[in-house]
Amino acid sequence: MDRQKKIEQVVVSAQQMRDIEGRIFAAGMPVAALMEKVGRLIAHRIVETLHATSLRGCAGILVGPGHNGGDALVVARELHFQGYQVAICAPFSKFKELTTSHLQYAESIGIRRYDSVEELLAHCDILIDGLFGLGLERHLTGSVATAIDQINQSSLPIISIDLPSGLHTDTGEALGTAIRANYTWCLGLWKLGLLQDRALEYIGNAELIDFDIPLADIQAVLGDAPSIGRVTKELAIATLPLRRPPVTHKYKQGHLLLICGSFRYAGGAILTGLGARASGVGMLSIAVPESLKPLLVAQLPDALIVGCPETAAGAISSLQLPENTDLNDFDAIAVGPGLTIEATPTVEQVLKCDRTLILDADGLNILAKLGTIPTLTQRSAKTILTPHAGEFKRLFPDAGDPVGDRIGAVKAAASISNAVVLLKGARTAIAHPTGMVWINPESTPALARGGSGDVLTGLMGGLIAQAQAAENIAIDSTFEIFKQSDRQITIDAIASVAAWWHSQAGIKAESDRSVMGVDAFTLTHYLLPVVSELRLVGSN
């Protein structure tokens, strides 16, 4: 993997970024030189992105008291020298020394300075936000808060440098108020706050401006195994089973058992099965109530549909597998969509097996009812839990706030349960018991539809079954690593890539059909085009 692809996976806190920059400066890089480099990169990106539209008028530069303001002033100067109209507003009385120098120079070369944000808004067609960047922790009040509210009420496009002013670098929280940017150009490395659900209404389209931080400095601060990472296309290519050996058979490509569905929620079984089929799993078995068997056969003729005894209300009353078959014959098992709480005895039975197990929907509700921690600590095999915030609170009432502190909460839940925990959301977070957290950086509200999670459960189950059954596979139970030839793939990476694949399919479907046109059944048809594109990229 080349440097740029590695950089895209790295996520840092404010303190980690300070430590990395400290190493760069200690090695001899002048702060002023880095500011020049960053400012020029941003100016180039502005021209590249907006030259044909917003830059026909005046670019307004909002200048803060720190080095974020200095970066903004370099941008102002560079745009001015390229012939664009530029004006600045620096609504503070004190500035850092380097920022003061840039401010004086900007005025000396004829860049107009307005005394108030209100004046700047009246004369500009685009705003560059350089008020506050890395490490802001105090709430914004008074005239600064008023100015930001005025900016947000304007209709001007806004580009924020590093982070929208007012956002907490780590939590993504708006500290009293924050600028709602159209673009956020994060400097050097991705900041944790930009990957939090609560930040999404502020950051707009986010991208990384790489200013060539040495990998050695990143490694020195974060270690060989960073604790937080972004799921990227490159991780997907490295993880997904895109190629198969020329001589193989269906059981070498994974055998997945789905246990799902009821008379009331028959669609859950169908959608989970369609998600699993799209994964490419070699053999798919689906256990449903006996009365649903004809419906599942019609929808998934390639799957082995196992009809089970059912309750009076149409839920699975007991798991009845084919003759000479038991749970150990499967590479992975996914349980939950559409089951209802009446299927508790079946879930209890499956929890006792030694197969890799994915629990979703009513599988999670039943687990919470049984007692999450006491139940999971008795399992020797790997477990993946896929809750949304409400289910998370029922499963882990003492693990933290899955809305306000998603990263901390999911990390704590994985640690105390010894399970991989996938916390669903606009930025799905996946935690391994060892402390590693992956964040899916892209999604779409089009996936906020009933049944979308069922598709993800099937897709993930199929991927894990394939990894488990892959030729020449060995499993290191200490670190839960799947070893395929020269590749080492962790179970949390597989879960993360399933979430990424699922969201990319949603994005692709939304592009074709609009947000309102992406129902869960439609979503299943967009899963294979995503992986087909990955195959083309991976072969280059």
Name the phi and psi angles at 106, rounded to 5: -60, -40
Written in H, E and C, the secondary structure of 486-534 is CEEEEHHHHHHHHHHHHHHHHHHHHHHHCHHHCCHHHHHCCHHHHHHHH
Percentage of residues in the chain with pLDDT exceeding 90?
Answer: 84
Rounded average pLDDT over 530-536: 77
415 is in an annotated binding site: no
Same domain, 19 and 114: yes
Indicate if 171 and 128 belong to the same structural domain: yes
Q: Is 135 annotated as a binding residue?
A: yes
Mean pLDDT of the chain: 92
Q: Look at residues 177, 202, 222 and tell me which one is the last residue of a structural domain.
A: 222
Residue that finishes a domain, picked among 198, 222, 246: 222
229 domain residue, yes or no: no
Q: What is the pLDDT of residue 535?
A: 64
Give the 3-state secondary structure of residue 48.
helix
Is residue 52 pLDDT above 70, yes or no?
A: no
354 is in an annotated binding site: no
pLDDT > 90? residue 85: yes
486 known member of a binding site = no
Residue predicted with more confidence, 72 or 475: 72
Token representation of residue 315: 């839920």
What are the tens digits of pLDDT across the range 400-430?
Answer: 999 988 999 999 999 999 999 999 999 999 9
What domain range includes position 209?
A: 3-222
Residue 514 shares a structural domain with residue 439: yes
Tell me whether residue 314 is annotated as binding: no
Residue 454 annotated as lining a ligand binding site? yes
In a domain, 227, yes or no: no
The pLDDT of residue 472 is above 60: no
* 452/426 same-domain check: yes
Of the candidates 506, 395, 384, which has an alpha carbon nearest to the alpha carbon of residue 444?
A: 506
Query: Any known ligand binding at 249?
Result: no
Is 67 annotated in a binding site? The answer is yes
In a domain, 312, yes or no: yes
Asked if the model's pLDDT at residue 485 lies above 50, the reply is no
Q: Is 212 annotated as a binding residue?
A: no
* Phi-psi map region of 498: left, alpha, beta (phi>0 left; psi -120 to 50 alpha): alpha
Nearest alpha carbon to residue 189 among 374, 314, 38, 397: 38
Q: How confident is the model at residue 138 (pLDDT cuts 50, 70, 90)?
A: very high
Cα angle vertex 236, ends 235, 237, to 5°?
90
Q: Does the annotation list 480 as a binding residue? A: no
What's the domain count of the chain? Answer: 2
Structure token pair of residue 118: 């209100």
Residues 328, 240 share a domain: yes
331 is in an annotated binding site: no
pTM of the model: 0.92
Is residue 133 marked as binding?
Answer: yes
pLDDT above 80: residue 321: yes
**Interval 374-405: pLDDT, tens:** 999 999 999 999 999 999 999 999 999 999 88
Q: Is 525 labelled as part of a ligand binding site?
A: no
- 101 belongs to a structural domain: yes
Does the residue 125 lie in any domain? yes
Q: What is the domain-level CATH number for residue 194?
A: 3.40.50.10260
Say if residue 244 carries a ligand binding annotation: no
pLDDT tops 50 at residue 482: no
**Known binder of ligand: residue 48?**
no
338 is in an annotated binding site: yes
* Residue 367 C-beta-side C-alpha neighbours within 13 Å: 34
